[in-house]
């Protein structure tokens, strides 16, 4: 059986940040070129899709539950995420998500910025996430 392999983040990122925006339900409304290149999807394929199209099965559900709870409360969320590329390979990103608010402070969407995760952070989180998945229902 072929095991998915990670991408070479340094090559794909080349100092660029992945930027995306979503609506309140997590549907992608904007994706920059770096996001397209790293994910393997075209910008046109990404826009209109739920952001979880990139969700890797190794990611614990509780991480995303906490993320949604945090950003829906109007706070910023930061964490490490393992994403699945269109070609089945994967990549790790250090992610920050911020709510977008209108003039009345109502949340109208979310903006996320991502950069390549460090090897040290990946190693620490892989073990933690593995334990979390083993205990999730």
Task: Please write the tens of the pLDDT for every residue from 58-111.
Answer: 999 999 999 999 999 999 999 999 999 999 999 999 999 999 999 999 999 999
CATH topology of domain 9-135: Beta-Lactamase (3.30.450)
The pLDDT score that the predictor gives to residue 136 is 79
How would you classify the pairing of strands 77-84 and 28-31? unpaired
What is the percent of the chain with per-residue pLDDT over 90, rounded to a whole number? 82
Closest CA to 26 of 99, 128, 121, 106: 99
Mean of pLDDT values over 20-37: 96
CA–CA distances in Å: residue 130 to residues 33, 37, 38, 134: 31, 28, 24, 6
Question: Where would I find the H helices in the chain?
Answer: 9-13, 33-39, 43-46, 61-72, 119-135
Task: Say what the pTM is.
Answer: 0.85
Domain edges within the chain: 9-135
């Amino acid at each position: 059986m072929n095991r998915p392999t990670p991408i070479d983040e340094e090559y794909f990122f080349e100092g660029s940040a992945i930027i995306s925006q979503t609506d309140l339900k997590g549907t992608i409304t904007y994706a920059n070129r770096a996001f397209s290149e790293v994910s393997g999807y075209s910008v046109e394929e990404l826009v209109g899709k739920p952001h979880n199209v990139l969700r890797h099965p190794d990611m614990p559900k509780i991480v995303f539950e906490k993320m949604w709870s945090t950003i829906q409360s109007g706070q910023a969320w930061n964490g490490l995420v393992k994403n699945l590329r269109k070609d089945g390979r994967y990549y790790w990103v250090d992610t920050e998500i911020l709510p977008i608010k209108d003039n009345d402070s109502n949340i109208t969407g979310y903006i996320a910025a991502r950069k390549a995760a460090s090897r040290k952070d990946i190693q620490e989180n892989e073990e933690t996430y593995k334990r979390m998945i083993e205990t999730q229902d």
